Amino acid sequence: MTIKEHKVVHEAHNVKALKAPQHFYNSQPGKGYVTDMQHYQEMYQQSINEPEKFFDKMAKEYLHWDAPYTKVQSGSLNNGDVAWFLNGKLNASYNCVDRHAFANPDKPALIYEADDESDNKIITFGELLRKVSQIAGVLKSWGVKKGDTVAIYLPMIPEAVIAMLAVARIGAIHSVVFAGFSAGSLKDRVVDANSKVVITCDEGKRGGKTINTKKIVDEGLNGVDLVSRILVFQRTGTEGIPMKAGRDYWWHEEAAKQRTYLPPVSCDAEDPLFLLYTSGSTGSPKGVVHTTGGYLLGAALTTRYVFDIHPEDVLFTAGDVGWITGHTYALYGPLTLGTASIIFESTPAYPDYGRYWRIIQRHKATHFYVAPTALRLIKRVGEAEIAKYDTSSLRVLGSVGEPISPDLWEWYHEKVGNKNCVICDTMWQTESGSHLIAPLAGAVPTKPGSATVPFFGINACIIDPVTGVELEGNDVEGVLAVKSPWPSMARSVWNHHDRYMDTYLKPYPGHYFTGDGAGRDHDGYYWIRGRVDDVVNVSGHRLSTSEIEASISNHENVSEAAVVGIPDELTGQTVVAYVSLKDGYLQNNATEGD
């Protein structure tokens, strides 16, 4: 075999591109937004060659502006000063809630699937507007103003979404901390973001178990004088929850004091909308900064075009708002479009492995978006449950968080989708804000194992990691980068712009470095290989080996610790720690049990 005949992305030659099943087209509420591959190519080329013209049209179509922007885009990847929709004014809460509440107040906005199914409820856009306004009023009465940060430590319940939108409504910046994180992790993020207000709940419910959420918050904030107010939602109503006088206040009591409509604060397009902390290879978590205009547009466009979402659809994103998936595809994407979003508090196994499919049947969900980890779990122990339920309402099945293997892709397509749904394998990350590489449902043929093609405005390329030179043409392999700015890209790392530059923009000057290896096959489709830095991907979530090592090493009896990621059939990767104890503690059973 000659060098020219050598197949670099070899697995791509063993699969055929699949067109969307006829059921997908038959079940569309209306005409598809992108009709075929040629239509995609035309739109994509315009987004790359004429980005200002393309995104100017999209921004005016999909977002409500209080004041028009004067320039579509400025800055460069080289300088790290990218900005979009300069001088434009808007409010994220208004775009997600008010305009839909005014037009159709009784339309479902949030469909709450509680841990206990007897607690399920639906919140309409009209109700959501009232609830968001009241909590925004509470925050305003406490002196929270534009540019302040508010930490949110809540499980996946409607109040988490309400809190986020309330913060955005007054122009403040929300910093959601995943409610599964430890007290120490919460403290680190509250202190780094300088959050004077924390929103939490008395207890959480997950998988039939009760979590002492407020207790974790109290432990994490012990000695943190920075925090002056904590708003506590009564999730369980358990008596005896410790409440510190002058600092802790009940959500329902404070909300009742406020009016049911508070006008939104007009924000600059480049004002930060939120911080979201993500693991980095250097150890301490990074507060990734996303701005209002660009992020909101990216969320709306990818939800619309990748998933082919229509206003009548119901999107079930089985992700938590503690991660970027929940931010973009459980909240900002669907709500900006006025589409109902399912908020799922529980696990796929509670009370049984039929939970996902009951949710889909009950609410006639049209779109299901989940991590491969959950699919692997169901494939292993819960496959028989799928056939018990009517999932015929589905037309798009999404995968998120890690590459989905071809065999799991095929299983997803056959067992969950009955070969009637489009599979959207989506590659993106916290820093990108929205999808980077993903098929447009119904327009782009799919391949099992491939994330397929770049989204609009994503000028993707493959770089040789040794020479730093871009690899031209197809059937090449290297690291994945992006050659030009896109609206939803993160603008900085909170208080550490140098870290932002060093991590993303300096490794390959003039490019945004994703940190992932990738191949581009003979058809121009992208195949994601995984991380090329010291970050492991567990259950679709990025964890820093350095951060884990530092946490273990903080134990009084630990001398040294080294952490690596190894393959795992269920979670994709799992963490293995090699720990050296201090002399004299080798026989300490208490330490071994920690």
**Distance, CA of 65 to CA of 62 (rounded, Å):** 10
- The neighbouring-strand residues paired with 151 are 175, 198
- The pLDDT of residue 60: 99
Cα dihedral: 188, 189, 194, 196 (round 10): -100
Mean pLDDT, each 10-residue run in order, the chain (594 residues): 59 90 94 96 99 99 99 98 99 99 99 98 99 99 98 99 99 98 96 98 98 98 96 98 98 99 99 91 81 99 99 97 98 99 97 97 98 94 91 98 94 97 98 99 97 99 95 96 99 97 97 96 94 65 55 62 67 72 56 53
CATH class of the 3-91+269-504+511-531 domain in this structure: alpha beta
**Structure tokens that stand for 27 in this block:** 């079940």
**Residue type for 184, please?**
G
**Residue type for 83, please?**
A
Cis, bond preceding 242 (omega within 30 deg of 0): no
**Which residues contact residue 369 at a Cβ distance below 8 angstroms, ignoring those fewer than 6 apart?**
307, 315, 316, 317, 318, 319, 325, 329, 397, 398, 399, 400, 424
Radius of gyration, alpha carbons of the chain:
23
**Which residues contact residue 211 at a Cβ distance below 8 angstroms, ignoring those fewer than 6 apart?**
155, 179, 203, 204, 205
- The pLDDT of residue 502: 96
**Residue type for 241, please?**
I
- The pLDDT of residue 443: 98
Answer yes or no: same fold for 93-265 and 535-593.
no
- The pLDDT of residue 532: 86
CB 233 within 8 A of CB 200: yes
Cα three-residue angle 135-62-168, rounded to 5 degrees: 20
**Distance, CA of 220 to CA of 201 (rounded, Å):** 14
For residue 106, which phi and psi values (nearest 5 degrees)?
A: -95, 0
Q: Name the region of 295 (left: φ>0; alpha: ψ -120 to 50; beta: rest).
A: alpha
**Residue type for 483, please?**
K
Q: Name the region of 268 (left: φ>0; alpha: ψ -120 to 50; beta: rest).
A: beta
Q: Domain locations in the chain?
A: 3-91+269-504+511-531, 93-265, 535-593
**Distance, CA of 90 to CA of 72 (rounded, Å):** 14
CB neighbours of residue 531 within 10 Å: 18
- The pLDDT of residue 11: 87
- The pLDDT of residue 4: 42
Please tell us whether the domain made up of 535-593 is placed in CATH 3.30.300.30. yes
**Distance, CA of 360 to CA of 389 (rounded, Å):** 8
Measured between alpha carbons, how far is residue 301 from residues 53, 359, 463, 487 in Å? 15, 26, 27, 10
**Which residues contact residue 63 at a Cβ distance below 8 angstroms, ignoring those fewer than 6 apart?**
90, 95, 293, 296, 297, 300, 336
- The pLDDT of residue 2: 37
The DSSP H or E segment spanning 101 is helix 99-103
Token pair 């945004």 is found at 512
- The pLDDT of residue 3: 38
**Residue type for 566, please?**
I
Measured between alpha carbons, how far is residue 323 from residues 217, 400, 543, 570 in Å? 19, 12, 12, 20
CATH class of the 93-265 domain in this structure: alpha beta
**Which residues contact residue 473 at a Cβ distance below 8 angstroms, ignoring those fewer than 6 apart?**
none
